Amino acid sequence: MAYAFARLERRERDLEEKIELSTGGTRPAEHVHEEVVTAMQAVGIDISDRTPREISVEELQNSEYVVTMGAVRRETSVRPAGPATAGTGS
């Protein structure tokens, strides 16, 4: 969902040449849930052809920004994915 909204925003702001997007999960489902497809169709975005995929640690480390979302967080520790940024305390 976040990826679909980000793609739309990027297109509407004519930023396709400036912003690269990636999507994936740490434990991706086998398919996009029908409820999600229906919810996105209700706001005019078709994701029915999408297939969930796993995102790699390397992809995360090479990202400038990471947006996360999910129903439940089950991991017990959280660590920064990318290199530390000066002045952030990371």
Q: Which of helix, strand or coil describes residue 76?
A: coil
**Average confidence (pLDDT) over 38-43:** 96
**Average confidence (pLDDT) over 70-83:** 53
Split at pLDDT 50, 70, 90, the class of 34 is very high
Can you give the pLDDT at residue 45? 95
DSSP collapsed to 3 states, 28-63: CCCCCCHHHHHHHHHCCCCCCCCCCCECCHHHHHCC
Does the pTM surpass 0.85? The reply is: no
Can you give the pLDDT at residue 42? 96
Give every CB contact of residue 51 below 8 A, 6+ residues apart in sequence: 31, 32
11, pLDDT greater than 70: yes
Tokens 């990826």 belong to residue? 3
Can you give the pLDDT at residue 70? 65
